[in-house]
Amino acid sequence: MTSISQHKIDVHRRLCIQKDFNELNSWINAMECFNSELDHFSVIEKQLIKNASVSGTIQAIRRKNVLSMANLCKYEQELKTEYEYGKVEYDYSRLKLHEQKRAIYNKLFEDYNAFKNQFYLIVRKYQR
């Protein structure tokens, strides 16, 4: 009976980690898209806007994006290791850690969207 319950706990642990891992991959993919968009914004800023403040904001967001992505990639490695070799049950502390990573991603996403809105407002001022 004990081995059956241990097996169920391990299956549940792996399912939860896999769910976290899949969500994490979607965050990392979105952040890679942010980085590509920032490249385009930088070109538009250099060719059209020519404002040091906007350029500095692009660099700051890129820096924050890269640091956050590095943090999430490290977390990805931790999840892979835990999935393969871990024996600890998926509990509240692991859930709380994942929620903290989600909060970091959501904050970056909010900051990025606020920047995009400001950037598009600046671009709207330009006419042919």
pLDDT tens by residue, 12-28: 999 999 999 999 999 99
Look up residue 24 and give its two tokens. Answer: 């994490």
All structural domains of the chain with their residue ranges:
2-124
Closest CA relative to residue 64, chosen from 38, 84, 102, 86: 38
> Is the distance from CB of 117 to CB of 80 less than 8 angstroms?
no
DSSP 125: T
d(CA 78, CA 51): 41
Residue 81's identity, in one-letter code, is T
Q: Check residue 118 and give its pLDDT.
A: 96
Q: Quote the pTM value.
A: 0.89
pLDDT tens by residue, 53-68: 999 999 999 999 999 9
Torsion sign across C-alpha atoms 78, 79, 82, 88: positive
Answer yes or no: is pLDDT of 3 > 60: yes
Across the chain, mean pLDDT equals 94
Lowest average pLDDT, out of 16-20, 69-73, 83-87, 119-123, goes to 83-87
C-beta atoms surrounding 68 within 10 Å = 20
d(CA 104, CA 119): 22
pLDDT band, very low/low/confident/very high, at 88 (cuts 50, 70, 90):
confident
